[in-house]
């Protein structure tokens, strides 16, 4: 895959000083960054192989400031890239040389916790883990839990439709989202959803979730919170080969058991994480599963026993049930530490994200190993086995000539493989720039045009996060332009936002 960004607009670059002077009047002085040293901190997201300095960084503190900045950018035809914590892994928050990077890190307050309605409202810069911590003492938590939950922001989670190790039973972000406040490109502030579970009319909340900053800027998020389960148990299951581990995953789900989490690691990843954090993993296995069951104590006891029986039938070599909360957390510590563990054994790594049918796990892992050998690289695997969401980490050395190019080629081949076996390009990391040029592998030209018509309805001038998601961005006039104005489409029979 060769990553190319849109060519900068020379007129915008030439008018930079005038535009910056206008921005300076819209936000407090320290919240506008335009010097080269200050901009350096925002030149990339966690997909750090690609770097660009933005035209400027704006750090608004209120929804009104976001609206004012958006209106100024529209007036000057300046592009806008929204950014949360910068932990994204698909280049979705990669800046543009002729664009404003709109950082939402100062939107960092939890605004309301409503226990009777089992929901919480937070600003987009609040970290994922902070929501669970805020409601923990009352016996609640927020279910989606990406591995980066200590740092990733809830606004970014919505933009990418993030998941986590417990998404198998409790769903990804879209299944736990109730309402949003967003600012459109023209500065209009729009509310979608609320504290209720479902809305009538078109599913605009569903359209905005996972839209990767292409439709609007999120300024407020309302999520549902869940009571903590009364009992939780985790089981470590080791296998002598990948096929047996994949079969065990398929058998658990086929039996009607839906674990809270069902994660898999291959042998290289098991060794890397054990060296990194001493989680107590067995080192004589080719694949390791972590299966967690939660609910009433009697149910957990029965289901855990059934999982152990299934594992034995699938020739498990290790079966170890957690005997305490401390041990259960240690099982998960290794899984949550997978990415930094690989950072310790490789100069660089490239994490990709594709989803496949569960029944094809062992086949895909075997073919992935063959692809890695073909490209002369190594891959370690850790993934959400229960829903087939793969996270292969390609190890390479950016200082070695040609390594990045080989890595990109291997990543492209793995993602094509995912689509070939009936899967999709992304489970939770998004398309961004990383998978943008592979969208044609999964969608027809008509499919892509229809998706872009939705973007045109929200952003007719194509100023919000351009260069992401779509390999070729058609002009709205070519697609049949439709414009959202003051939160309404230009047809009286369509529902209000």
Specify the 3-state DSSP secondary structure of 258: coil
Instruction: Give the pLDDT of residue 3.
Output: 67
Residue 1 in this model has a pLDDT that exceeds 80: no
Q: Is the pLDDT of residue 472 over 90?
A: no
Identify whether the C-beta of residue 180 lies closer than 8 Å to the C-beta of residue 220. yes
Higher pLDDT, 71 or 427: 71
Structure tokens at 134: 């805020």
Alpha-carbon span 81 to 218, nearest angstrom: 12
Asked if the domains 231-338 and 346-438 are classified in one and the same CATH topology, the answer is yes
Note the pLDDT of residue 12. Answer: 86
pLDDT band at 8, cuts 50/70/90? confident
Least confident of 235-239, 310-314, 403-407, 480-484: 480-484
Burial of 350 by CB count in 10 Å (0-12 exposed, 13-18 middle, 19+ buried)? Answer: buried
Is residue 492 predicted with pLDDT exceeding 50? no
Q: How far is CA 289 from the centre of its chain?
A: 22
Residue 473 pLDDT: 72
Please give the pLDDT value at position 485. 54
Mean pLDDT of 282-302: 96
Computed on alpha carbons and rounded to an integer, the radius of gyration of the chain in Å comes to 23
The beta-strand segments (E) located in 172-254 are 177-183, 189-193, 217-224, 226-227, 231-239
Of 92, 71, 99, the C-alpha closest to 156 is 92
At 280, the pLDDT band (50, 70, 90 cuts) reads very high
Residue 421: partners with Cβ closer than 8 Å, 6 or more residues away: 356, 357, 360, 363, 364
Mean pLDDT, to the nearest integer, of 128-148? 96
Q: Where are the domains of the chain?
A: 12-103, 110-227, 231-338, 346-438
Cα 481 from Cα 489, distance rounded (Å): 11
How far apart are the C-alpha atoms of 118 and 98, rounded to whole Å? 43
CB 131 within 8 A of CB 110: yes
pLDDT band for position 200 (50/70/90)? confident
What six digits make up the tokens of 314? 């699938």
Give the 3-state secondary structure of residue 443. Answer: coil
Bigger pLDDT: 346 vs 202: 346
At 491, list the tokens: 């047809």
What is the distance of C-alpha 6 from the center of its chain? 23
Stretch among 226-230, 250-254, 258-262, 485-489 having the lowest mean pLDDT:
485-489
Q: pLDDT value at position 196?
A: 81
Q: Looking at domain 346-438, does it have CATH number 3.30.930.10?
A: no
**CA-CA distance, 186 to 71, in Å (whole number)?**
5
Q: How sure is the predictor about 138, in pLDDT bands with cuts at 50, 70 and 90?
A: very high
Instruction: Classify domain 231-338 at the CATH class level.
Output: alpha beta
Considering the entire predicted model, what is its pTM? 0.91
Contacts of 396 (CB under 8 A, 6+ apart): 346, 347, 348, 349, 350, 377, 403, 404, 406, 407
Calculate mean pLDDT across residues 298-303: 97
The kind and range of the H/E element at 276 are helix 267-277
pLDDT surpasses 60 at 494? no
**Average pLDDT of span 464-476:** 88
Which of 74, 69, 71 has its CA nearest to residue 23?
A: 69
Class of the CATH-defined domain 110-227: alpha beta
Q: Are 144 and 166 in contact (CB under 8 A)?
A: yes
SS3 246: helix
Number of Cβ atoms within 10 Å of the Cβ of 174: 17
Q: Residue 244: which pLDDT band, with cuts at 50, 70 and 90?
A: very high
Residues 383-439: tens digit of each pLDDT: 999 889 999 999 999 999 999 999 999 999 999 999 999 999 999 999 999 999 999
Q: Which residues, in sequence order, are CB contacts of 79 under 8 Å at separation 6+?
A: 9, 12, 73, 96, 98, 99, 100, 463, 464, 465, 466
Whether domain 12-103 has CATH 1.10.260.40: no
What average pLDDT does the chain have?
92
């Amino acid at each position: 895959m060769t990553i190319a960004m849109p060519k900068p607009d020379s007129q915008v670059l030439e008018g930079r000083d005038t535009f910056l002077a206008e921005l300076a009047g819209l936000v407090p002085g320290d919240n506008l960054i335009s010097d080269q040293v200050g901009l350096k901190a925002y030149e990339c997201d966690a997909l750090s192989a690609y770097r660009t300095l933005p035209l400027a960084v704006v750090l608004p503190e209120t929804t009104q400031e976001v609206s004012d900045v958006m209106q100024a950018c529209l007036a000057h035809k300046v592009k806008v890239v929204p950014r949360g914590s910068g932990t994204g892994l698909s280049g979705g928050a990669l800046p543009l040389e002729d664009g404003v990077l709109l950082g939402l890190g100062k939107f960092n307050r939890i605004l309301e916790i409503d226990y009777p309605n089992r929901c919480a409202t937070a600003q987009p810069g609040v970290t994922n883990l902070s929501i669970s911590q805020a409601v923990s003492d009352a016996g609640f938590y927020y279910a989606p839990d990406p591995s980066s939950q200590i740092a990733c922001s809830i606004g970014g989670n919505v933009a990418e439709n993030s998941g986590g190790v417990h998404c198998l039973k409790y769903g990804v972000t879209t299944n736990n989202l109730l309402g949003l406040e967003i600012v459109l490109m023209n500065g209009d502030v729009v509310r979608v959803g609320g504290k209720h579970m479902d809305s009538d009319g078109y599913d605009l909340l569903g359209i905005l979730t996972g839209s990767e900053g292409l439709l609007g800027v999120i300024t407020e998020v309302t999520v549902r919170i869940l009571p903590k389960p009364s009992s939780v148990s985790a089981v470590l299951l080791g296998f002598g080969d990948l096929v047996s581990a994949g079969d065990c995953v398929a058998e658990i789900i086929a039996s009607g058991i839906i674990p809270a989490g069902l994660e898999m690691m291959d042998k290289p990843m098991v060794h890397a994480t054990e060296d990194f954090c001493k989680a107590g993993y067995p080192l004589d296995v080719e694949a390791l599963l972590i299966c967690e069951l939660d609910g009433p104590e009697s149910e957990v006891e029965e289901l855990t026993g059934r999982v152990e029986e299934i594992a034995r039938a699938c020739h498990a070599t290790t079966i170890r049930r957690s005997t305490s909360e401390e041990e259960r957390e240690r099982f998960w510590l290794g899984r949550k530490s997978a990415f930094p563990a690989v950072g310790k054994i490789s100069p660089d790594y490239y994490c990709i994200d594709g989803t496949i049918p569960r029944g094809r796990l062992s086949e895909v892992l075997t073919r992935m190993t063959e692809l890695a050998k073909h490209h002369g690289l190594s891959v370690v695997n850790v993934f959400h086995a229960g829903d087939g969401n793969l996270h292969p980490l390609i190890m390479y050395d950016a200082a070695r000539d040609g390594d990045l190019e080989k890595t990109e080629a291997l990543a492209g081949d793995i993602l094509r493989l995912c689509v070939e076996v009936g899967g999709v390009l992304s489970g939770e990391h998004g398309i961004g720039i990383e998978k943008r040029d592979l969208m044609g592998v999964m969608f027809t030209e008509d499919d892509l045009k229809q998706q872009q018509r939705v973007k045109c309805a929200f952003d007719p001038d194509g100023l919000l996060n351009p260069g992401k998601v779509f390999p070729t961005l058609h002009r709205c006039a070519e697609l049949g332009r439709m414009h959202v104005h003051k939160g309404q489409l230009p047809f009286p029979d369509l529902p209000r936002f």
